[in-house]
Structure 1
Amino acid sequence: MSATAKLTAVESKLLVREPGSLFTVVIPLFVLIVFGSSIGPDDTTLLPMTIAIAIGLVGLYLMPTALATYREKGILRRLSTTPVRPASLLVVQLILQFVLALASCGALLAVAGTVLGARLPANALTFIAVFVLGTASMFAIGLLIAALAPSGRAANGIGVLLYFPMAYLAGLMQPVSQMPAILVRIGEFTPLGAFRQSLQDVWEGTAPDPVLLGVMAAYAVVVSIAAARFFRWE
């Protein structure tokens, strides 16, 4: 087994044992089941909301905390003296976090489709494209948090402080129909808001707004470049 394969196996075990991994799956499922039981199968808002909640938790909470903790404890520095380069750990972490995001999304779709009888997206390719773009934009912000935070605890705090205002503006705490129009418009220019609205467009059978897709792409590219620029190995 290669060094990278061994690293992947170890990191997978650590991720599974991390309580935060369970929360990123359970919390969106809890919201879906509690509210989905009182919403009809034709609803097009709840599933996009819960998927956005799941990706937001992984991108803003779990991933930056893990990466900042590795740097704080000197793990990245020590890896530089082994055959496994520090960059390999970052790549493995990103892949595993993306797999976790997929698992959370898959659980939501499975429960919604089989237990709640909810509508699933008719255009699978468009859904996949929006999901990947939205996840990339949220992961980019998580990488920037990890790059700037001096410790895992600080990364956790920054992620939480960013998540709640962003979640509110994105319409994850209350339906956008009950929010002031100006806040809804501002929320659409956040990565989480653009993601949630694009997902809802997919569920409603319409093409996502190209402007919102551009917002997510811009965050994914620009913030990732900033994260790479400021990231410190130790």
Structure 2
Amino acid sequence: MAKLTTVELKLLAREPGSIFTILIPLFILIVFGSSISPGDTVLLPMTLAIAVGLVGLYQVPTTLATYRERGILRRLSTTPVRPGSLLGVQLILQFMLALTACGLLLAVASTVLGAHVPSQVVPLAAAFLLGTAAMFAIGLLIAAVAANGRTANGVGVMLYFPMAYLAGLMQPAEMMPLILARIGEFTPLGAFRESLQDVWAGASPGLLPLGVMAAYAVVVSLAAAKFFRWE
């Protein structure tokens, strides 16, 4: 397992998608962050949600579907390292990638831009974990049903942009038509963004966004487990 983790970590570090997952939200934060006030409670939660969404809808499904397409999971089934071990290692590393991207955003926002960073660790951790679990569950479902890595990539991108719009990541939810903003509250990215903004505003995340994220995490994970194929 240690050797597998080391190898997978090296492969992930060399993957261009991993670098873009970190750089794209950081670029958005720096470009727009220079013109906001230190007490802004919108931009940083938005960029955090963007980072987790990119990992969940792009990195996770593309990587796992590509491994199945190339027969890596099938070949591992004949070794002491079972395919499930690779799946577990990949999920841990992808989670660490999301954590790294968000940690960098928080560091740059607080030190370079002087942005407000909440001190409530528990509500922030709860929102982050549930949001990440929901997005990873969707990524796993895409990987489960996609024929190959290219298809998984395409489906992930196709889902990401409309979901990001409805979530208020491309345009503040306050500026969207009311019906679309309402629909966005019931998407995993929208619930994630809303719960983060609650934390940034000094409040606890609302029960509705937490419930929405938990529901996606559980229901979609079960669907992914049902349809997932090792080869």
State the TM-score, normalizing by the size of structure 1: 0.98
Q: Which residue of 1 aligns with 2:198?
A: 201
Report the Cα offset of residue 187 of structure 1: 0.3
Offset at residue 208 of structure 1 (A):
1.2
1:189 has 2:204 as partner:
no
**1:122, distance to aligned residue in structure 2 (A):** 2.5
What is the distance in 1 between the residues matched to 2:57 and 2:70?
20
Corresponding residue for residue 154 of structure 1: 151
Query: Which of 28, 32, 44 does residue 29 from structure 2 map onto?
Result: 32
Aligned to 2:62: 65
2:19 to 16, 19, 22: 22
Query: Which residue, 106, 109, 114 being the options, matches 2:111?
Result: 114
Shift of 1:204: 0.3
Within the alignment, does 1:219 sit opposite 2:216 as a pair? yes
Residue identity matched to 1:75 = I
1:111 shift after superposition: 0.1
Show the counterpart of 2:161: 164
Work out the CA distance in 2 between the residues paired with 1:35 and 1:65: 29
Q: Percent identity?
A: 75
Q: How far is the alpha carbon of 1:77 from its aligned partner?
A: 0.2
What aligned pairs does 1:134-149 form with structure 2 within 5 A after superposition?
134-149=131-146
Unaligned runs of 5+ in 2: none
RMSD over equivalenced CA pairs, Å? 0.5
Between the aligned partners of 2:146 and 2:206, the Cα distance in structure 1 is: 34
Map of 2:170 onto structure 1: 173
Structure 2 length-normalised TM: 0.99
Q: CA offsets per residue over residues 36-75 of structure 1, 9 Å max, x none?
A: 0011111000000000000000000011000000000100
Runs of 4+ in structure 1 off by over 2 angstroms are none
Task: Write the distance in 1 (CA, Å) between the matches of 2:4 and 2:100.
Answer: 21
Deviation of 1:206 after TM superposition, in Å, equals 1.2
Who is 2:76 aligned against?
A: 79
**d(CA) in 1 for partners of 2:204 and 2:125?**
13
Question: Which of 46, 51, 54 does residue 49 from structure 1 map onto?
Answer: 46
Opposite residue 188 of structure 1, the aligned amino acid is: E
| C-alpha separation in 1, matches of 2:167 and 2:209 | 12
- 1:124, distance to aligned residue in structure 2 (A): 1.2
Q: How far apart are 1:212 and its partner, in Å?
A: 1.0
User: 3-state DSSP class of the match of 1:84?
Assistant: coil
SS in 2 for 1:29: helix
